[in-house]
């Protein structure tokens, strides 16, 4: 079946590991249509991967199987995870990587029974190829093996806005040096933003686009994925604010600032 399968990993592009994962899938479902998202997620940076996943997950057609592997705990006790969300599948580690796709959606989550998928598994070091690849391949064939999966209640791990203090944690700096914070605009519906503060920069405004400020000046905006972003018009916020702080301070609906 010609199902679309996407792959995002921190495997890098100088080795054959992503290739091994793709080959394993194609040896099970030779007709699968594989699409690389990118294999340069900063190693072990789950928050970065979680944000990246959110930017493309829902763009793909229904039935797409999204494999995402950013997995500092491989070989430890962390579980493998399958989530069905909005008609699309997530396959990857249960470590918070899936958090940001689930904000505003209903979904079903399943632990992967590793021994059921791969009873004779020798290698402990390549779950991407040995567990996630056969799981994704089966899903792409329309096969949901009940004995491979155990329904459970997914627990998000990424820190979110602290409503008491207004502190919003940084998710990552992207390729362009934009700083992305873990606040989706849908979370502020009906609230008025009074002030945003990051290091020495304070503003009452969320701008509609980069060029709303002078070249080289910082601005906040809701980015193309709906998240709060601190950018610099035609520049890099990561450079501008170096060293980067891990939180932005938000004031809403208060009478006094």
The residues of the shown chain that bind a copy of itself, judged by CB under 8 A, are 4, 6, 8, 11-20, 22-24, 26-27, 30, 34-43, 48, 51-56, 58-61, 64, 72, 74-76, 123-126, 129-130, 174-176, 208-211, 221-225, 234
Nearer to a copy of itself, 66 or 110 (CB): 66
Minimum gap (Å) between residue 143 Cβ and a copy of itself: 18
Minimum gap (Å) between residue 164 Cβ and a copy of itself: 31
Nearer to a copy of itself, 29 or 161 (CB): 29
Which residues lie closer than 8 Å to 35 by C-beta, 6 or more apart? 4, 5, 6, 7
Nearer to a copy of itself, 37 or 250 (CB): 37
Minimum gap (Å) between residue 153 Cβ and a copy of itself: 26
Nearer to a copy of itself, 35 or 199 (CB): 35
Nearer to a copy of itself, 34 or 139 (CB): 34
Minimum gap (Å) between residue 87 Cβ and a copy of itself: 12
Nearer to a copy of itself, 16 or 142 (CB): 16
Minimum gap (Å) between residue 122 Cβ and a copy of itself: 8
Minimum gap (Å) between residue 124 Cβ and a copy of itself: 3
């Amino acid at each position: 079946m010609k199902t679309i399968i996407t792959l995002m990993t921190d495997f890098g592009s100088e080795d054959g590991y992503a290739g091994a994962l793709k080959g394993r899938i194609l040896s099970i479902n030779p007709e699968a249509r594989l699409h690389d998202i990118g294999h340069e997620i900063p190693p072990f940076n789950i928050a970065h991967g979680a944000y990246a996943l959110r930017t493309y997950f829902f763009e793909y057609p229904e039935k797409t199987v999204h494999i995402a592997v950013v997995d500092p705990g491989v070989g430890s006790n962390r579980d493998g995870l399958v989530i069905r969300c909005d008609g699309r599948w997530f396959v990857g580690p249960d470590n918070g990587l899936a958090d940001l796709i689930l904000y505003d959606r209903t979904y079903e989550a399943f632990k992967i029974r590793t021994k059921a998928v791969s009873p004779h598994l020798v290698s402990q070091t390549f779950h991407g190829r040995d567990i996630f690849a056969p799981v994704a391949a089966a899903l792409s064939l329309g096969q949901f093996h009940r004995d491979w999966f155990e329904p459970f209640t997914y627990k998000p791990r990424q820190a979110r806005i602290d409503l008491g203090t207004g502190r919003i944690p940084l998710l990552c700096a992207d390729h362009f040096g934009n700083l992305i914070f873990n606040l989706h605009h849908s979370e502020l519906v009906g609230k008025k933003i009074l002030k945003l503060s990051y290091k020495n920069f304070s503003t009452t405004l969320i701008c509609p686009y980069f060029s709303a400020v002078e070249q080289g000046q910082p601005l906040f905006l809701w980015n193309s994925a709906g998240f709060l972003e601190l950018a610099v018009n035609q520049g890099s916020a990561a450079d501008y604010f170096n060293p980067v702080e891990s939180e932005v301070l938000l004031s809403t609906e208060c009478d006094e600032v």
